[in-house]
Amino acid sequence: MLVLVAPGQGAQTPGFLTPWLDLPGAADRVAAWSDAIGLDLAHYGTQADADAIRDTAVAQPLLVAAGILSATALGDITPGAVAGHSVGEITAAAFAGVLKDTDALGLVRKRGLAMAEAAAITETGMSALLGGDPEVSVAHLEKLGLTPANINGAGQIVAAGTMAQLAALAEDKPEGVRKVVPLKVAGAFHTQHMAPAVDALAKAAQDLTPADPRFTYVSNKDGRAVATGAEVLERLVGQVANPVRWDLCMETFKELGVTALVEVCPGGTLTGLAKRALPGVTTLALKTPDDLDAARELISEHS
């Protein structure tokens, strides 16, 4: 059984969209999306530097656009399940048919702007903890006033909070943690710091008419498969201020009988976690169009 997954913020790198725009019709499609949401996706995906695409209001629509573009390039596929990490859930909702592509881009544009606004209220950020016991790490984070915003499995937890709290964490790591790595994000996402963005996103969601997912849609709120478009949309709204439980998503993949996992562009992060947490599962990350043939072959073998 094949799972198709989409990465979250921090996966972007300068120029990563460049080769994808050479695919037939891709440049026109991205131009139309850019006009619809008022953001030059081609510029940010090909010419902008790392600081420019770190901006939440830019990074999020850029990631969703790249994910939809690369998933579409795979052709007419039928994965056993789809899922996304953080903003990648909007990408997953698009290729599960819950949201039309233009609606997904419109929603993520509003999401990025709202989260950037919320992040500007207090100087906050996120850091990844590598190694250690999850229970020990979570207790330590809570002692420092930090939120375990992403529990990713495979020995990785992401802490979120104020910069002062993160500085304290760097000086006082939980027992067993090998390393604390600051992430390239501009706020404490999936925490109470994002509460203002939830309200803005809820208003934006009122204008959408979601369809029920065509494939099994695994939610990163709790790893549960969600059957209705209305519930998917509700979870997309609340997700910005709730922790991401990617560890539970991977547990659900196991229960569903996953044998292969393909991560859409810019792939790498989630396949890395899967290699450690899902032994025996074949993984492939779509980094450039050169990976498409191998992905199609893998999909035909495991669908």
Catalytic residue status for 190: yes
User: 258 is written with which tokens?
Assistant: 């996953």
For residue 283, list its beta bridge partners. 261
Burial degree of 24 (CB within 10 A; 0-12, 13-18, 19+): exposed
Sign of CA pseudo-dihedral 249, 128, 116, 54 = negative
Exactly one of 34, 70, 85, 86 is catalytic; which is it?
A: 86
The reply to whether 302 belongs to the active site is no
User: Which tokens is 122 given?
Assistant: 């207090």
For the chain, where are the alpha helices, taking DSSP H only?
Answer: 26-37, 41-46, 50-54, 56-73, 88-95, 101-119, 134-143, 163-171, 195-205, 229-238, 246-256, 269-277, 292-302
Q: How far is CA 147 from CA 124, 170, 244, 266, in A?
A: 12, 15, 11, 26
Enter the DSSP assignment of 303: -
* Half-sphere exposure in the Cβ direction for 196 (13 Å, CA): 14
Among 85, 140, 190, 302, the one annotated catalytic: 190
Asked if residues 66 and 86 have their Cβ atoms less than 8 Å apart, the reply is no
Residues known to be catalytic: 86, 190
